[in-house]
Structure 1
Amino acid sequence: MRFFFFHLMPYADLDPDYDKIHPSSWVTLPNSYYDPAKGAALYHRYLDELEYAAELGFEGVGVNEHHQNAYGLMPCPNVFAGMLVRKIPDTAKIAVLGRALPVLANPLSVAEEFAVLDNITRGRLITGFVRGIGAEYHSLAVNPTESHERFHEAHDLVIAAWTQPGPFPWEGKYYHFPHVNLWPRVYQQPHPPVWIPSQGSRETIEFAADSARRYTYLQTAAPAATLFKTMQSYRDEAERQGYQASPDQLGWSIKIYVAETDAIAREEAKPHIESFANKFLRMPQEMLLPPGYTSMASMKGLIQSRKTITSGYRTMEQMLEQGTFICGSPQTVIEQLAEYQRRGGFNIVMAGLHFGTLPHALTMKNIEIFARDVMPALKSAVPGHMPRAAAE
């Protein structure tokens, strides 16, 4: 099992009563709620937490991209990756999960920024491409019906810029460049590894598992039942493509809290994981899945999955039962992760060890206990044969 520490960088000082006036912490929440002095302190604190995880032996650290919300203060994840590069150990990787290609005006800028990071890290960069959740299309005024086409063209342009000798012209439906001639070239050949985080759409799984790509698929924001289903869907698609998927092509992004005992862990985590689920993640369905954002088949599946994580007030106990949160003593967390790996067949764990309003001291404690007591017990763990019956 491979472990990465993932941070969302929320505005943890958000007024908890905002939802009495506003329906969501996304898109329409007035930025008057943001105090620059508090925000600056949070940024420095969050960078400290990422650096600490890298020092304690996580394979890498992960950042991501969201726009105009209190849920995640990283509209420019490459900036944060750049700040981390020179301070974390030279054995630790940096995963940018990921750039939201369809909502960005210039994919060549993404190709250039990733190429710089790949050189600075001397090949320790993991790149991520996403379409961006529906709220991003509201924030940046992009037509959601163009999401898939823009994503595929932008992706193809970035890969071409990384792998083809330049200069060459690019004439697509959305992007037009007379000269594609990337300086610097990427450090890793033919290009940095690509991971595809997703909520579980059928189209994304097919894209990632395609035999020409074989990208690592990272399941996000879903209950355990959805995790098992999407892991199996990826393996099935790989078989249709003529190869057997490796467990290293499958990962899970999951919020985790570990403490001395189950009772202590639950007491310490409860108010903060519930703030994450009910304050920061709060979003109307039409904001999450705008018309045209995904196919009808995927829409039905996503709506059903998201009901368990966006409908009504969610308690920590419900999240533990659904498998959207893991919490307990080191032994409890070890046993649960091992069982999820056995049933899901994945090797990569993107551990969200900070969430919501979890304070700095508890975050550092969580990172330390997880690195000291959980990771060593599971580093040699690999999924065994994954029969379809188990996934079902």
Structure 2
Amino acid sequence: MNIFFFHLMPYGDLDLSYTDKYDSAWVTLPNTYFDRSKGTAIYDRYIGELSLADELGFDGICVNEHHQTAYGLMPAPNLIAGALTRTTKKAKIAILGRALPLVNNPVAIAEEFAMLDQMSGGRIITGFVRGIGSEYFASGIDPTLSHARYYEAHELILRAWTEPGPFRYHGRHYSFDYVNIWPRPVQLPHPPVWIPSQGSIETIEWCAAKERKYTYLQTFSPIELAQKNFDAYRACAEKAGYKAQASQLGWAIPTYVAETDEIARRELQPHIEAFFNKFLRFPIEMRMPPGYSSIASTKMLIERKYAVRASQQTIDTLGDLGMCIYGSAKTVREKLLHHQKEMGIGNLIAMLQIATQPAEQTEKSMRLFAAEVAPYLRANASTAVAAE
């Protein structure tokens, strides 16, 4: 079982009373809420926490891309990944991920990842996403073109990594007379590709296709939905003529470890509730703009996932839904091991810094997780592909 440390780099100093005036922490929240005098210290802290995860023995560290939001201060995750190539030694660096439909030059993305793979000595994991609905308001990209631009950009990037150049590429959305990237990536045939997703039916089917077999990553979802989507991936693999492996499935979950269950609940409560009720706050039309997903996927996500987020969440309801894990090291490892065996996953992506959580709590949780949770999971995790 591979264990990753995931960081969103949130703006933890956000004035949470913003909801008295604004209905979203994304796109429309005035950037005057960001105190520019604090930014340098925030990045220094967060890059330090990611580097600490490498020192503590996590198999990988994860960054991601979001735009115009207090939820995450990483509009350019490649920049953070570049810094991490110099401050880390062993951990994989997973960029989860780049939002392909938002870019007009996929060849530049291929070049960036190739550079990072060389700079890190072959430690890069590439994550390709379409970007959540709000990113289309931030970028001005037509959401009805999301799938088409995504698939075409993906095709072009893989060809740029694997096909000797120069060659021509003329598609519907992108056109180049010369594709000839320098440098080329270290890893062959190319860096591993992971697909983070909210659970789109189309994404699961595409990800599990026999010609790809990409690792599917379920993010911040009720555990019932995560289980259904992992089962759907396995069913798609079986239909395609192969048996999905645990290494093809990953689960991202906010996690907090403290000395006791009582301390963990008390310390985590304000931060996990701020995360779901404040940082993840935006109206449904911004989450799912018309044309962004199929009718079937939109209906499924609204019913199974966004209906949960539409109401005020408490630490107890979130815990009951399996949308966060917290407690003593013993409690956390037992819960995670149970879920791992039920879901048949091979990759755990632990979000160990949550919203407004201060540095001392984050570091405590990281150290306890690394010392008392991770070794237990690695020693006892099931190698079964699916739940018994």
Whether TM-score is above 0.5 comes out as: yes
Alpha carbon RMSD of aligned pairs, Å?
Answer: 1.0
In 1, Cα distance between equivalents of 2:229 and 2:330: 27
Q: Tell me the alpha carbon deviations over residues 81-117 of structure 1, each in whole angstroms, 9 at most, x when there is no partner.
A: 000111112x211000000000112111110000000
In 2, Cα distance between equivalents of 1:85 and 1:184: 16
Structure 1, gaps ≥5 residues long: none
- 2:113 aligned residue: 114
Equivalences for residues 152-231 of structure 1 within 5 A: 152-231=151-230
Scaled by the length of structure 1, the TM-score of the pair is 0.97
Q: Tell me the alpha carbon deviations over residues 149-191 of structure 1, each in whole angstroms, 9 at most, x when there is no partner.
A: 0000000000000011100010000000000001101111110
In 2, Cα distance between equivalents of 1:353 and 1:305: 25
- 1:329 aligned residue: 328
1:220/1:254 contact within 8 Å kept: yes
Helix, strand or coil at the partner of 2:16:
coil
1:274/1:314 contact within 8 Å kept: yes
In 2, Cα distance between equivalents of 1:132 and 1:385: 29
In 2, Cα distance between equivalents of 1:264 and 1:384: 34
- 1:286 aligned residue: 285
Matched, 1:49 2:45: no
2:101/2:146 contact within 8 Å kept: yes
Equivalences for residues 128-147 of structure 1 within 5 A: 128-147=127-146
- 1:11 aligned residue: 11
In 2, Cα distance between equivalents of 1:324 and 1:149: 31
Q: Tell me the alpha carbon deviations over residues 259-298 of structure 1, each in whole angstroms, 9 at most, x when there is no partner.
A: 1110010001000111111110111111001110000111
User: How far is 1:384 from its partner?
Assistant: 2.9
2:345/2:385 contact within 8 Å kept: no
Task: Tell me which amino acid in the other structure corresponds to 1:44.
Answer: D
Matched, 1:88 2:88: yes
Helix, strand or coil at the partner of 2:178:
strand
- 2:69 aligned residue: 69
In 2, Cα distance between equivalents of 1:282 and 1:288: 10
2:245/2:385 contact within 8 Å kept: no
In 2, Cα distance between equivalents of 1:98 and 1:227: 19
In 2, Cα distance between equivalents of 1:92 and 1:111: 21
1:26/1:68 contact within 8 Å kept: yes
Helix, strand or coil at the partner of 1:81:
helix
User: How far is 1:56 from its partner?
Assistant: 0.2
In 2, Cα distance between equivalents of 1:238 and 1:385: 12
User: How far is 1:240 from its partner?
Assistant: 0.9
In 2, Cα distance between equivalents of 1:384 and 1:115: 34
Task: Tell me which amino acid in the other structure corresponds to 1:232.
Answer: D
In 2, Cα distance between equivalents of 1:60 and 1:250: 15
Same amino acid, percent of matched pairs = 53
CA 1:6/1:70 → structure 2, altered by over 3 Å: closer, same or farther? Answer: same
User: How far is 1:347 from its partner?
Assistant: 1.1
- 1:368 aligned residue: 367
Helix, strand or coil at the partner of 2:356:
coil
- 1:26 aligned residue: 26
- 1:357 aligned residue: 356
In 2, Cα distance between equivalents of 1:383 and 1:24: 41
1:341/1:383 contact within 8 Å kept: no
User: How far is 1:382 from its partner?
Assistant: 2.2
User: How far is 1:312 from its partner?
Assistant: 1.6
In 2, Cα distance between equivalents of 1:114 and 1:133: 21
In 1, Cα distance between equivalents of 2:68 and 2:28: 8
In 2, Cα distance between equivalents of 1:294 and 1:222: 18
Equivalences for residues 339-350 of structure 1 within 5 A: 339-350=338-349
- 1:99 aligned residue: 98
1:277/1:309 contact within 8 Å kept: no
User: How far is 1:383 from its partner?
Assistant: 4.2
Task: Tell me which amino acid in the other structure corresponds to 2:139.
Answer: L
Helix, strand or coil at the partner of 1:218:
strand
1:283/1:310 contact within 8 Å kept: no
In 2, Cα distance between equivalents of 1:337 and 1:50: 22
User: How far is 1:385 from its partner?
Assistant: 5.8
- 1:37 aligned residue: 37
User: How far is 1:308 from its partner?
Assistant: 4.6
In 1, Cα distance between equivalents of 2:341 and 2:50: 28
User: How far is 1:36 from its partner?
Assistant: 1.1
1:101/1:150 contact within 8 Å kept: yes
User: How far is 1:361 from its partner?
Assistant: 0.4
In 2, Cα distance between equivalents of 1:209 and 1:185: 26
Q: Tell me the alpha carbon deviations over residues 5-52 of structure 1, each in whole angstroms, 9 at most, x when there is no partner.
A: 000001111111111001000010111111111122111110111111
Helix, strand or coil at the partner of 1:299:
helix
User: How far is 1:198 from its partner?
Assistant: 0.1
Scaled by the length of structure 2, the TM-score of the pair is 0.98
In 1, Cα distance between equivalents of 2:239 and 2:44: 47
Structure 2, gaps ≥5 residues long: none
Task: Tell me which amino acid in the other structure corresponds to 1:22.
Answer: Y
Matched, 1:262 2:288: no
Equivalences for residues 223-242 of structure 1 within 5 A: 223-242=222-241
In 2, Cα distance between equivalents of 1:126 and 1:299: 28
2:169/2:175 contact within 8 Å kept: yes
In 1, Cα distance between equivalents of 2:198 and 2:267: 28
- 1:126 aligned residue: 125
Helix, strand or coil at the partner of 1:17:
helix
User: How far is 1:122 from its partner?
Assistant: 1.4
2:261/2:326 contact within 8 Å kept: yes
Task: Tell me which amino acid in the other structure corresponds to 1:360.
Answer: A
Q: Tell me the alpha carbon deviations over residues 335-367 of structure 1, each in whole angstroms, 9 at most, x when there is no partner.
A: 111111111110101110001100000000010
